[in-house]
Amino acid sequence: MHTHAGEKLSKQEKQFRAHVTKLFTWLREAFHLTDWDLELHFCEPDEGAAADINVDSTYLTAVIRVGSAALRHNFEAKDSWQIMYCLTHEFCHILTDPLVQIAYNGVTKHGADFLRETAERQTTRIARILMGTIPQDVYEIQSY
Ligand SMILES: [Zn+2]
């Protein structure tokens, strides 16, 4: 888990981060990504997203950034499905990004926008299918 040095966290924030870290560890195993170097950063992603991911499929590294605003709201509302879905979606990008990166090299600017939208849609579909297979007790919010 990546935190900034000297950062003082509230009890709520610590609980939130412990929960997200637990899900992250579970997903890493479930996706069989043991040969990957995966990092979880707690900081605000770009463009107000709840989370995002930066994948390098050449060096097998990925950094998932989890913001505190949107997902913290889900955590406080005990919406455990939404938090797991969000993380599962980011993990699915690790599966789809290698093909997307190859395809990018062969398309125009317009094609790149279309490709990005299509990749996002297909990533969402895969994540939703997976969510139907993950037992709820895996991602239930417990007291930490
Ligand atoms: Zn996405």
Measured in Å, residue 3 CA sits from the centre of ligand 1 at: 23
Please provide the DSSP assignment of the chain as one string.
Answer: -B--TT----HHHHHHHHHHHHHHHHHHHHTT-TTSEEEEEESPPGGG-SEEEEEETTTTEEEEEE-SHHHHHHHHTT-HHHHHHHHHHHHHHHHHHHHHHHHHTT--HHHHHHHHHHHHHHHHHHHHHHHTTS-HHHH-----
Measured in Å, residue 137 CA sits from the centre of ligand 1 at: 24
Predicted model pTM: 0.90
Measured in Å, residue 127 CA sits from the centre of ligand 1 at: 10
Measured in Å, residue 121 CA sits from the centre of ligand 1 at: 8
Measured in Å, residue 86 CA sits from the centre of ligand 1 at: 9
Say what the pLDDT of residue 144 is. Answer: 60
The mean pLDDT of the chain is: 91
Measured in Å, residue 52 CA sits from the centre of ligand 1 at: 7
The domains found in the chain, sorted by start residue, are: 11-139 (3.30.2010)
Which position has the higher pLDDT, 143 or 41?
41
Interval 94-106 mean pLDDT: 93
